[in-house]
Amino acid sequence: MQTKSLQVLVNRIEDETTNVKSFTLKSLKGERLPGFSPGSHITTNIHYKGEKLERHYSIACDPSVSNQYVLGIRKSETSRGGSEGWHQMIKEGDLLEISYPKNHFPLSFRARKHLFFAAGIGITPFIEMMFYLKKKGIDFDLHYAAKSKELCPFYQLITENFPDQSHFYFSSSNRKMFPQLMKDQPIGTHVYFCGPESMVKQFAAYAQSAGYPQGNIHFELFSPPDMGPASPFNVKLLKSKKEIHVCEKDTLLDVLLREGIDAPYSCKVGGCGSCLLEVADGIVDHRDQFLTEKEKENLQVILPCVSRAKSANLMLDL
């Protein structure tokens, strides 16, 4: 189930590093674009090699600038077409279809201090957050790891706008970013992580062991977490009286949409809960980051964008 879309113009493309480009998107007539809150992203649709590719990218610019969205997109070595399509095909002057901004990674407005940890292209959601916090006079610090200054996306923008709050860790200089930087912070500090899954897991685990309340720990993943082998399973849809098969390479959500089932969704990485469905029968293999462990034990639900079945069959009230 998709929300209505916007048409935008690719106004400017810049090389941030050798494998990261920034894309400035503007409205067709130069008017205001829908506003967004810090941490927001948009869903983009491009056609590449005969396939329509839907991808989600954080907005990496000042939320108070109302006439543009900026995306930072890294060309992945294992691209399934999305980042490769953006880098190879998208040109200045192109028209694109995007969603209205959505936010599944919001700032906490209860925090007394915000502590951001980014690795590589994981910097993008923090850019909009830092612009917002600086204007509001709210305390924050950024810790940002990259291979080198030359391979550090948005390095110039960050050093120009947030010189007093930014700390860089370049592996080429043997300077590493450690989770112990979370120690000795003021009571009421909230921590945020964005980067590779291994980094996010390591830093989130440390935050928990260091005594940060669960509600003070925030993170965003770019792709579903790796939860091991995916077994095939069958699904019976009670309302539509359909029976579908989900193979190892597909998600349940993919198959539902392919079968014309009006299933809700948004992030597609198990982080927002938008696609949650009731399970009438069967055992769920929970692979999401949205439900608590208690909810996974007690609720008969599934997030079909990432979760699967432990049993051979599931029954859904669809």
Q: What is the pTM of this model?
A: 0.83
Average pLDDT over residues 172-199: 95
- Phi first, then psi, for residue 74 (nearest 5°) are -90, 130
Domain at 6-103, CATH from 2.40.30.10, 3.40.50.1970, 1.10.10.10, 2.40.30.20: 2.40.30.10
Average pLDDT over residues 98-124: 95
117 Cβ neighbours under 8 A, 6+ residues apart: 143, 144, 145, 177, 179, 181, 191, 192, 193, 194, 195, 199, 203
CB 135 within 8 A of CB 107: no
Q: How confident is the model at residue 54 (pLDDT cuts 50, 70, 90)?
A: confident
Domain residue ranges of the chain, discontinuous segments joined by +: 6-103, 113-220, 233-316
Tell me the DSSP string of 189-215.
EEEEEES-HHHHHHHHHHHHHTT--GG
Least confident range of 55-59, 96-100, 206-210, 262-266: 262-266
Q: How many CB atoms lie within 10 A of CB 230?
A: 16
* pLDDT, averaged across the chain: 92
Shortest CA distance to 282 belongs to which of 300, 256, 299? 300
Q: How many CB atoms lie within 10 A of CB 231?
A: 14
Strand, coil or helix: 216:
helix
CATH superfamily, domain 233-316, is Beta-grasp domain (3.10.20.30)
pLDDT score, position 1: 45
CB 251 within 8 A of CB 263: no
- pLDDT tens, residue by residue, 287-307: 987 888 899 999 999 999 999
- pLDDT tens, residue by residue, 201-229: 999 999 999 999 999 999 987 666 677 78
- Strands 5-15, 20-27: pairing kind: antiparallel
The second-level CATH assignment, the architecture, of 113-220 is: 3-Layer(aba) Sandwich (3.40)
Alpha-carbon distance 256 to 170, whole Å?
A: 44
